[in-house]
């Protein structure tokens, strides 16, 4: 009897310990990324080595230094002073407020044919920071995937994952989460989830397309540098503000939409918005903002 109890305790202890090990690598990656970004944008004095090709005048006049943690939720506006000014002006009359209202309307008043509603799938709307989740048998499920799964389960047609109703409902979820001060806390608690994270990570860091660029070329090594006149945003904090009202689109769009646009610019044939490629990539991307506040919806150029 005593042997069984001891054995049981040991097995229990071991499972508790090993539940932590699945996200060990991801946490290492996140810590190293945060450290790099904070060092890069720490001081004007140390900037030359990180920005060897940026004119000194630009480093002197247009950069905000001493960035830490939550600062990075603003993306390139964290360091780009001119951009931040324009951003602040635009946020005085945020163009996405209608989207939040539309999203709230969808959440509260959409009645599926079978009588159910979004409340049955998502009883608490302050859940933006929990997605994507890894679901055994399904793989990575982003919020947009979960919304479409809810629709399908209830006999309704799935929505376009790039914009429109999908973006509006995401805006409501993001806003509800932001109001409650929620932060991103993506979870990796199985071997399969860890594999999906590693897949997304490899996608992020692999060079491809006729320009032979990886996401990292621009958003890790390139963060803070410019392509023509556009400042490149950093990987750390890259997804906190979605869904995004992008001036280039003149409307609200999802993270999936933005990634697809990026693919086009890099000379690749684009991936489907609900493909494993896209979902694994978003799993990795969001984990790299773990601990940062849910900050959407928001404006970007």
Residues contributing to the site for another protein (CB under 8 A): 28-29, 31-33, 35-36, 39-40, 49-55, 58, 201-202, 205-214, 216-218, 220-222, 225-229, 232, 264, 267-271, 275, 277
Question: By C-beta, is 155 or 267 nearer to another protein?
Answer: 267
Catalytic: 262?
yes
Q: How many CB atoms lie within 10 A of CB 296?
A: 25
Spot the catalytic one: 150, 215, 218, 262.
Answer: 262
Whole-number Cα distances in Å, 129 to 54, 101, 121: 35, 20, 16
* Min separation Cβ 216 and another protein, Å: 4
Specify the residue, 51 or 77, whose C-beta has the smaller distance to another protein: 51
| Cα dist from 127 to 245, 293, 298, whole Å | 20, 12, 17
CA 60 to chain centre: 31
**Residue 16 to residues 185, 186, 222: CA-CA distances in angstroms?**
19, 18, 39
- CA distance readout (Å), 139 to 32, 68, 142: 26, 33, 10
* Cα 255 to Cα 185: distance, rounded to the nearest angstrom: 17
Nearest to another protein of 190, 270 (CB atom): 270
Please report how close the Cβ of residue 266 comes to another protein at its closest, in angstroms.
9
Nearer to another protein, 52 or 123 (CB): 52
**Minimum gap (Å) between residue 238 Cβ and another protein:** 14
Q: How far is the CB of 288 from another protein (least distance, A)?
A: 11
Catalytic residues: 262
């Amino acid at each position: 009897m005593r042997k069984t109890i001891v054995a049981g305790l040991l097995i229990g202890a071991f499972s508790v310990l090993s539940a932590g090990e699945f996200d060990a690598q991801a946490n290492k990656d996140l810590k190293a990324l945060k450290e790099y970004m904070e060092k890069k944008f720490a001081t004007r004095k140390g900037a030359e080595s990180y920005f060897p090709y940026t004119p000194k005048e630009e480093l002197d006049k247009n950069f905000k230094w001493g960035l830490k943690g939550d600062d990075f939720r603003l993306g390139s506006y964290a360091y780009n002073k001119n951009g931040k000014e324009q951003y602040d002006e635009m946020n005085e009359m945020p163009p996405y407020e209608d989207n939040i209202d539309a999203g709230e309307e969808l959440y509260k008043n959409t009645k599926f044919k079978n009588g159910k509603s979004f409340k049955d799938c998502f009883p608490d709307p302050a859940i933006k920071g929990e997605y994507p989740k890894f679901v055994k048998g399904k793989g990575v499920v982003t919020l947009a995937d979960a919304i479409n799964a809810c629709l399908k389960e209830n006999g309704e047609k799935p929505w376009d994952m790039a914009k429109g109703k999908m973006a509006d409902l995401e805006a409501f979820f993001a806003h509800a989460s932001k109001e409650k001060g929620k932060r991103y806390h993506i979870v990796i608690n199985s071997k399969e989830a860890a594999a999906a994270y590693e897949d997304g990570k490899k996608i992020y860091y692999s060079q491809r397309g006729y320009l032979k660029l990886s996401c990292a070329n621009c958003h890790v090594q390139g963060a803070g540098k410019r392509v023509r006149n556009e400042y490149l945003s950093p990987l750390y904090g890259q997804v906190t503000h979605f869904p995004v009202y992008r001036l280039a689109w003149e409307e609200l769009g999802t993270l999936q939409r933005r990634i697809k646009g990026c693919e086009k610019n890099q000379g690749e044939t684009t991936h489907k918005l609900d493909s494993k490629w896209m979902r694994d990539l978003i799993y990795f991307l969001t984990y790299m903002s773990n601990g940062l506040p849910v900050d959407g919806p928001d404006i970007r150029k």
